């Protein structure tokens, strides 16, 4: 069995070097030409110069020409195979000291400078990652598909940087609808403002261009939400993608999802066919910043694995990395969120599939893998004081402590992942 494993490893080691076929072929051609040149010089010298008798044995004169050729071919192939094997030892690096362990091929490319990052986020998330602008070549924030013009003008007017660009995903005004677990369908804007829906969660997400009757004013309401017959709902939409959004995604070294509402800010953009396909085909690192808290009526009862599975469901891919907040939440803040039907998003032990050690992790810390995504727990948040006004008495306000993603901590975590890649 051990011999068989060794043979499999040897075969795999040569197969991983297939991408070196062209340089090896050129090298082989060069060696052949050099050999022919040396041969002609030796023949000329052999005919004109008198050599000692041992050269008769050294040049295999005691063998016929076909035997000499076959013998030299066999010796040459052996030396060539040994050279390729040693070359593989320089390119294929074992992950562990055990020679039977998995190996990885290292691809080398010229350093290309600071990374280019595309962000799919919304609301405060568009500003939280603004700290990355000092470390990147370009940071392109793609606004949510719903109310994208409002997000665009708000973001571009509040934050000015030559490296940060805010672009809309599609030129067509679009509405986002959800089907809840009680079979009601409604515009996502109406979910979080209805306390009766706090215990609900989304079972289906849809986007509707306004020209197809998706305008919220043209859709009939009933006590359960929206009538199914009043508008044509599609889980994906063949909407045109703006040129700036297309270029940003194709040229990105990393695509960051979040921070922001899962169903309102992140997933709706993934329902645009072209946008989704570009991300699926992209070799960029895909990083998902998981929500700190569940969202009433949208992600009630969700854990980290549920968030990842929704990205896989609507996006057709799983993130390479998932950043999850591991900070201890103060009891007072936890009680405040509990009163609003919100709970922290944590890793559940039954969600673990396997563990992985990231390259460059000096402490060899094992990270959880869920649905193929490496989940990294870290301190990503800070508690801040926020002033809220009463709807009954707008003139009155009170200060409350809330939990928010910390821009500096998130920036450091993302840059560390890009450095490891």
Residue 172's pLDDT is: 87
Domain spans of the chain, in order of start: 2-105, 116-420
Whether the bond between 292 and the residue before it is cis, its omega within 30 degrees of 0, is no
CA distance 11 to 206: 48
* Nearest CA-CA partner of 259 in 46, 395, 117, 404: 404
CA distance 156 to 300: 32
Residue 312's pLDDT is: 96
Q: List the structure tokens of 158.
A: 């509040």
Sign of CA dihedral 47, 50, 53, 57: negative
Residue 362's pLDDT is: 53
Structure-derived torsion over alpha carbons of residues 310, 314, 316, 317, reported in degrees to the nearest 10? -40
pLDDT in tens, the chain (421 residues): 555 555 555 555 555 556 566 777 777 777 777 777 777 777 777 777 777 766 666 666 677 777 777 877 787 777 777 776 666 555 544 444 444 444 444 444 445 589 999 999 987 777 888 888 888 999 999 999 987 777 777 666 666 678 889 899 998 888 999 999 999 999 998 898 888 898 998 999 998 887 554 444 334 333 344 444 344 455 566 789 999 999 999 999 999 999 999 999 999 999 999 999 999 999 999 999 999 999 999 999 999 999 999 999 999 999 999 999 987 788 888 888 888 899 999 887 776 666 666 665 655 567 888 999 999 999 999 887 766 655 555 556 666 778 889 999 999 999 999 887 6
Strands 254-257 and 285-289: parallel
Residue 392's pLDDT is: 57
Sign of CA dihedral 108, 360, 324, 388: negative
Q: Which residues contact 262 (CB under 8 A, 6 or more apart)?
A: 291, 295, 298, 299, 307, 310
Residue 146's pLDDT is: 86
Residue 217's pLDDT is: 39
The pTM assigned to this predicted structure is: 0.69
Residue 394's pLDDT is: 56
Q: 9: part of which helix (H) or strand (E)?
A: helix 2-15
What do you get for the CA distance between the two ends of the chain, in Å?
35
Per the CB < 8 A criterion, the answer to whether 323 and 410 are in contact is yes
Q: List the structure tokens of 357.
A: 């050690």
Per the CB < 8 A criterion, the answer to whether 92 and 13 are in contact is yes
Residue 112's pLDDT is: 59
Task: Count Cβ atoms below 10 Å from residue 280 Cβ, excluding itself.
Answer: 12
- How far is it between the farthest Cα atoms of the chain? 114
The domain over range 116-420 is classified in CATH as 1.10.3720.10: no
């Amino acid at each position: 069995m051990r011999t068989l494993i060794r043979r499999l490893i040897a075969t795999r080691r040569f197969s991983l070097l297939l991408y070196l076929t062209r340089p090896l072929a050129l090298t082989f051609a060069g060696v052949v030409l050099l050999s022919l040149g040396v041969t002609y010089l030796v023949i000329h010298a052999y005919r004109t110069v008198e050599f000692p008798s041992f050269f008769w044995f050294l040049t295999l004169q005691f063998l016929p020409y076909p035997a000499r050729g076959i013998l030299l071919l066999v010796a040459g192939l052996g030396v060539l195979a040994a050279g390729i094997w040693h070359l593989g030892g320089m390119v294929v690096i074992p992950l562990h000291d055990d020679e039977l362990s998995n190996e990885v091929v290292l691809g080398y490319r010229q350093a290309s400078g600071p990374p280019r990052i595309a962000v799919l986020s919304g609301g405060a998330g568009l500003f939280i990652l603004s700290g990355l602008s000092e470390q990147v070549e370009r940071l392109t924030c793609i606004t949510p598909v719903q109310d994208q013009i409002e997000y665009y003008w708000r973001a571009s007017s509040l934050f000015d940087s030559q490296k940060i660009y805010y672009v809309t995903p599609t030129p067509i005004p679009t509405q986002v609808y959800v089907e809840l677990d009680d079979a009601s369908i409604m515009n996502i804007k109406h979910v979080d403002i209805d306390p009766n829906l706090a215990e609900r969660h989304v079972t289906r997400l849809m986007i509707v261009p306004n020209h197809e009757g998706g305008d919220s004013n043209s859709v009939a309401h009933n006590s359960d939400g929206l009538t199914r017959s009043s508008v044509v709902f599609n889980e994906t939409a063949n909407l045109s993608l703006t040129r700036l959004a297309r270029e940003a995604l194709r040229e990105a070294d990393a695509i960051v999802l979040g921070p922001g509402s899962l169903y309102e800010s992140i997933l709706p953009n993934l329902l645009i066919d072209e946008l989704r396909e570009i991300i699926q085909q992209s070799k960029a690192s895909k990083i998902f910043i998981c929500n700190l808290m569940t969202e009433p009526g949208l992600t009630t009862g969700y854990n980290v694995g549920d968030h990842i599975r929704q990205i896989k469901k609507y996006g057709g891919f799983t993130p390479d990395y998932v950043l999850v907040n591991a900070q201890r939440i103060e009891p007072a803040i936890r009680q405040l969120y509990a009163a609003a039907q919100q709970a922290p998003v944590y890793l559940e032990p039954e969600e673990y599939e396997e563990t992985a050690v990231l390259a460059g992790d000096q402490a060899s810390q094992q990270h959880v893998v869920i649905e193929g995504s490496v989940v990294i727990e870290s301190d990503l948040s800070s508690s801040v004081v926020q002033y809220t006004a009463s709807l009954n008495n707008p003139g009155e306000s009170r200060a409350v402590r809330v939990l928010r993603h910390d821009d500096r901590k998130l920036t450091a975590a993302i840059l560390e992942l890009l450095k490891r890649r």
